[in-house]
């Protein structure tokens, strides 16, 4: 099924390999992915209590970082989002810069504005939203 708004991403770098290469090079390899910037988000596993790191597309809203819990339009939230629901403290890495953040899900009052920001850098989010009945969360990461 093809959608004219959907831009098929190059998936040759993803998952653990993406995280590893980003970490090894301070983002020289992996910061830009399919023309968009990537950050590393490290959460604490809600069941295991282990540190989990995910490579995520991000945007900015002032001093805050924005990530979208799309899971490509899956009917289930990604594990990193569930981890943040259990523990709102996390860490991010943007290129070589590392910082602690507090996290929150965008409120319904601000979601439209933030969704517009997110789709301006990754239009596929609009397509992902059509694939699921859940409202895809936008997460605000605020440096501490």
Phi first, then psi, for residue 70 (nearest 5°) are -85, -35
Q: How sure is the predictor about 2, in pLDDT bands with cuts at 50, 70 and 90? A: very low
Assess contact for 14 and 72: CB atoms under 8 A.
no
For the ranges 4-8, 11-15, 31-35, 67-71, which has the lowest average pLDDT?
4-8
Contact 141, 41 (CB under 8 A): yes
Query: 3-state DSSP call for residue 51?
Result: strand
Contact partners, residue 6, CB within 8 Å, separation at least 6:
124, 127
Model confidence, pTM = 0.92
Helix (H, G, I), strand (E, B) or coil at 89: strand
Dump pLDDT digits (tens) for 64-100. Answer: 999 999 999 999 999 999 999 999 999 999 999 999 9
Q: Would the CA dihedral through 49, 60, 20, 80 be positive or negative?
A: positive
Confirm if 90 and 101 have CB atoms less than 8 A apart: yes
Backbone angles phi, psi at 76, to 5 degrees: -120, 145
Backbone φ, ψ for residue 4 (5° rounding): -65, -20
CATH number attached to the domain at 15-143: 2.30.110.10
| Residue 131 CA from chain centroid, whole number | 18
pLDDT band at 9 (very low <50, low <70, confident <90, very high): low
| pLDDT 10s digits, 23-74 | 999 999 999 999 999 999 999 999 999 999 999 999 999 999 999 999 999 9
Domain boundaries, the chain: 15-143
């Amino acid at each position: 099924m093809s959608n004219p708004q959907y831009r098929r991403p190059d998936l040759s770098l993803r998952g653990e390999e993406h995280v590893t290469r980003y970490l090894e090079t301070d983002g020289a390899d992996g910061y830009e992915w399919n023309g968009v910037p990537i950050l590393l988000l490290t959460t604490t596993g809600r069941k295991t209590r282990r540190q989990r790191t995910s490579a995520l597309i991000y945007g900015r809203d002032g001093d805050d970082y924005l990530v979208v819990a799309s899971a490509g339009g899956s009917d289930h939230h990604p594990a990193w989002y569930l981890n943040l629901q259990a523990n709102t403290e996390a860490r991010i890495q943007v290129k070589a810069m590392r910082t602690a953040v507090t996290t929150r899900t965008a409120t319904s009052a601000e979601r439209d504005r933030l969704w517009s920001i997110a789709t301006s850098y990754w239009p596929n989010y609009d397509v992902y939203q059509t694939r699921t009945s859940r409202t895809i969360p936008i997460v605000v990461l605020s440096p501490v």
